[in-house]
Amino acid sequence: MIRTRETIVELEDATLAPYAQKSGESGGRRHPEPPHAFRTEYQRDRARIIHSRAFRRLEYKTQVFLNGTGDHLRTRLTHTIEVASLSRSMAQALGLNADLAEAIALAHDLGHPPFGHSGEEALNDRMTGHGGFDHNRQSLRILERIEKKYPGFDGLNLTMELLEGLQKHSGSYRVPQKSASGSAAAHPSPSLEAQVADIADEIAYYSHDLDDGLDSGLIQPEQLAELEIWRETQRDVKSRHPRIRGRELNAYVIRCLIDREVEDAIQTSDHAIAESRVTCVADVRQHPKPLIRYSDWLMSANRQLREFLYANLYFHPTVRTVNRNACDMLRKVFDAYLAKPDLLGDATATRISRDGLHRAVCDYLSGMTDRYLIQEYRRIAS
């Protein structure tokens, strides 16, 4: 039996929670397109993101450790896939639209430049007085302007709900509305699917940064004893598997820690949604604070975990030295492009006339992989 788009939309209406964002109720796309025979609007969004050039480049972009440092260390791509997996699982458990939550997760880091957050800081510094740089805004810029795959418009022409979901750090969420004035409505909160992708991002990087820190040797297992959530999870693992030791123990504790975070967020969020008495998507967007959340205890435990990671991993001398050297290269390449715009090539010339030299350089650099930027630095410096 062939399952058509209409069949899937009917299934969503029958099975999803009343406050879930259903694909049949999407606000549509900036440039109208005919519907697909077999895929919903959010399934089409997901496919467009996966097939984009920006998504493929995530494989060679830093998460914490410079790409190529170790075969088992995360890259920006593997982080993204982990976030998408958690988002889908959590959305399904809560009766939300898993396709939309997954698509938002797949797109959430497309705007990250080479060298992770250190690269973001370096680009923001160079863009002082020219609009700055933020990877969340850059993700939207990539999807709305920079990607070019369709003859009728720039960008990927994604749904309004997908674009809304990427504005998670902007404070106030604006969903483009189809109106005569072209105005956009402001909302205190985004969809629950966007909130799921946001918390899944946290859960993923807490766990895999711990895993990578242990795997790299920059974090020692004994240090983790100061973390309440690690102690409790490890105690539970040892009670059930008393013979487990060493790396196998650490890996399984992290696996159980992820389960614990996900289960806590699902249970707490379900309770918060019930207490809020939201009955539709409009109610969710007008709610004064996020409804997808951790319990108070886990929020406190995660705050302690985050402080530990900053002190012992992100600001570790080994990581900081590598990132500092890499960002010095980024700044020098940026300055070289400003001095000699012809180094950018013909394809970027139209961007310079449209967006200005600084923004065109920023767009070009932020799209680079770690290794390509290093190659450019060597080419320019030679």
pLDDT at 179: 35
pLDDT at 1: 83
pLDDT at 318: 85
C-alpha–C-alpha distance, residues 336 and 178, integer Å: 43
pLDDT at 72: 55
C-alpha–C-alpha distance, residues 121 and 318, integer Å: 18
> If phi over 0 gives left and psi between -120 and 50 gives alpha, with beta otherwise, what is residue 157?
left
Amino acid at 134: D
pLDDT at 174: 45
Q: Do you know the residue count of the chain?
A: 382
pLDDT tens per residue across span 56-99: 999 988 777 655 555 557 789 999 999 999 999 999 999 999 99
Torsion on CA atoms 233, 234, 237, 238, rounded to nearest 10: -150
Q: How many CA atoms lie within 13 A of 98 on its CB side?
A: 15
pLDDT tens per residue across span 181-207: 333 455 778 999 999 999 999 999 989
Q: Which two structure tokens, joined as six digits, stand for 253?
A: 């504790």
DSSP code string of 261-322: HHHHHHHHHHHHHHHHT--SHHHHHHSSS-SS---HHHHHHHHHHHHHHIIIIIT-HHHHHH
Q: Cα 132 to chain center, whole Å?
A: 20
C-alpha–C-alpha distance, residues 61 and 58, integer Å: 5
Amino acid at 265: A
Report which of 376, 377, 369, 374 is spatially closest to residue 77, judged by C-alpha positions: 369
Q: Which two structure tokens, joined as six digits, stand for 40?
A: 């919903």
Q: How many CA atoms lie within 13 A of 260 on its CB side?
A: 20
Geometric angle at alpha carbon 203, from 295 and 143, rounded to 5°: 120
Domain 5-381 - what CATH class?
A: mainly alpha
Instruction: Give how far Cα 11 sits from Cα of 26, 47, 97, Å.
Output: 15, 20, 11
Domain range list for the chain: 5-381
Where the chain has pLDDT below 70, the residues are: 65-72, 168-186
The model's pTM = 0.92
